[in-house]
A and B are shown apart, each in its own frame.
Chain A
């Protein structure tokens, strides 16, 4: 059974940093791209970033480019989202998700979500 277990959310001040983690199990982790999606009541679901199975290709939404860094450790079955220079607009529930396969940006398993609140 595929499982994605997230950790690392919380309250952070504007301009601060936070790292989200996602521990994967139940599938051959290195064979699948992984994606971060965030959700807010106002903007709905928003694609944030994706990383290929090898980690060699990483993509970002324009809204986070230059501030967020996605990485993965295939030896630990982990994917990370490092967030810098956070603003109130980054407040959201962040989900990690498994791509259905390397070439398809559709997500067949999701983590439970991590709430990030950016506030002073």
Chain B
């Protein structure tokens, strides 16, 4: 199974400041077709996960442009340019290149 490792596991950020979360996979997530199957989800308190980013860097419909994704191969990063109060929750990365689908441990973002 592909192991997904997120750092940090918790993050406390002042509103308006940036935040960054790293996700590393134990194997490359690059497909032969050139796409890379790395996705980011946000699980707000008491809610189900919601898709933020797919294929490393494409924002899902309705996701604010303060969220951005980058990376390649096995190393990926989610950045929030200016954290807002509504961004609190647990951020999960997930790989989609092989079964079983696997997730990172989750990064809990709180507001200072």
Decide whether A and B are members of one complex.
no
Chain A positions near chain B (C-beta within 8 angstroms): none
Chain B positions near chain A (C-beta within 8 angstroms): none
